[in-house]
Amino acid sequence: MSSRPIIAPSILASDFANLEREITMINNSEADWIHVDIMDGVFVPNISMGLPVVEAVNRHATKPLDVHLMIVQPERFVEAFRKAGAEVISVHVEACPHLHRNIQQIKALGCKAGVAINPHTSVFELENVIADLDLVCVMSVNPGFGGQKFIENTYAKVRQLKELIVETNSAARIEIDGGVNMQNAKLLLDAGADVLVAGNFVFSAPDPLDVIQQLKGISVTTV
Ligand code: DX5
Ligand code: ZN
């Protein structure tokens, strides 16, 4: 059997002064989701965009918004992001002392629930919540900035996570976020990844539509 990956371009790398044009490009592409990075300058050393921008993106987007919250106390904002158009919301395990409650809150809003893990965080931190999750976002760079170098240890983490998902009969998809390109995409998918986020690789390319098509076209053999 073979399957196709879910492709989620990250608009962090897009031209914010021409956001409507960038969203239209994604609408017209083979991408599946639009990845939206929210940074608070506290959990990560950078600030990106907030609710009014997400609302504006949602007015033009024809594809689901995959919102990645790199913020402390995400429970204060998940409802507002849901109202702004989020269909998938991921919170960071490192920012959530009450992660189980946070996941239930996201699901109660009718969103798909995701948890993101930093490069130093073991996948086994998720052992007790994996059955409840729709998505695990494995950070393959330290969160906060686009355009960073992919961390090679990610492959081993994806394999461990895939085993955990199979063992627990979880429906969670594995998303890879950071430094994704044509050199690592197939290896990640073969290791068990389902969703590829790509920022600079898509938006710095002369032909972003073609790059999205190339990523989408990677065929993964499953047993
Ligand atoms: C990093 C963000 C990523 C980023 C990926 O903190 O979570 O989503 O936009 O960008 P690239 O693909 O350029 O590494
Ligand atoms: Zn992200």
Cα 111 to averaged position of ligand 2 atoms, centre (Å)? 17
- String of DSSP letters for 102-170: HHHHHHHTTPEEEEEE-TTS-GGGGTTTGGG-SEEEEESS-TT-SSPPPPTTHHHHHHHHHHHHHHTT-
Q: Which numbered atom of ligand 1 lies nearest the CA of 140?
A: 14
Answer yes or no: is the C-beta of 116 below 6 A from any ligand 1 atom. Answer: no
**With 0-12 CB in 10 A as exposed, 13-18 as middle and 19+ as buried, what is 209?**
middle
The finding on whether 146 has its CB within 6 A of some atom of ligand 1 is: yes
Residue 126 tokens, joined: 């998720």
User: Is 79 in contact with 89 (CB distance < 8 Å)?
Assistant: no
Atom of ligand 1 nearest to the CA of 181: 12
Tell me how far apart the alpha carbons of residues 76 and 126 are, in angstroms, rounded to a whole number.
22
At the fourth CATH level, the homologous superfamily of domain 2-221 is Aldolase class I (3.20.20.70)
Could you report the per-residue pLDDT of 28-84, keeping only the tens digit for each? 999 999 999 999 999 999 999 999 999 999 999 999 999 999 999 999 999 999 999
Amino acid found at 3: S
Indicate which atom in ligand 1 lies nearest the CA of residue 180.
12
Domain residue ranges in the chain: 2-221
DSSP string, 22-39: HHHHHHTSS---EEEEEE
Q: What are 110-128's pLDDT values in tens digits?
A: 999 999 999 999 999 999 9
Global pTM value:
0.98
Band of residue 1 on the pLDDT scale cut at 50, 70, 90: low
Nearest to 135 by CA among 81, 92, 174: 174
Closest among 103, 115, 111, 101 to 80, alpha carbons compared? 111
Residue 76's alpha-carbon distances to 69, 91, 106, in angstroms, are 11, 12, 11
Q: List the one residue out of 93, 94, 91 whose CA is nearest residue 82.
A: 91
24 lines ligand 1 (CB under 6 A): no
- Is residue 212 in contact with ligand 1, taking CB distance under 6 Å? no
Per residue in 179-217, pLDDT (tens digit) is 999 999 999 999 999 999 999 999 999 999 999 999 999
Is residue 177 annotated as part of the catalytic site, yes or no? yes
**Residues lying with their CB under 5 A of ligand 2, a single-atom ion:** 37, 68, 177
177 Cα–ligand 2 center, Å: 6
Q: What is the distance in A from the centroid of ligand 2 to the CA of 142?
A: 10
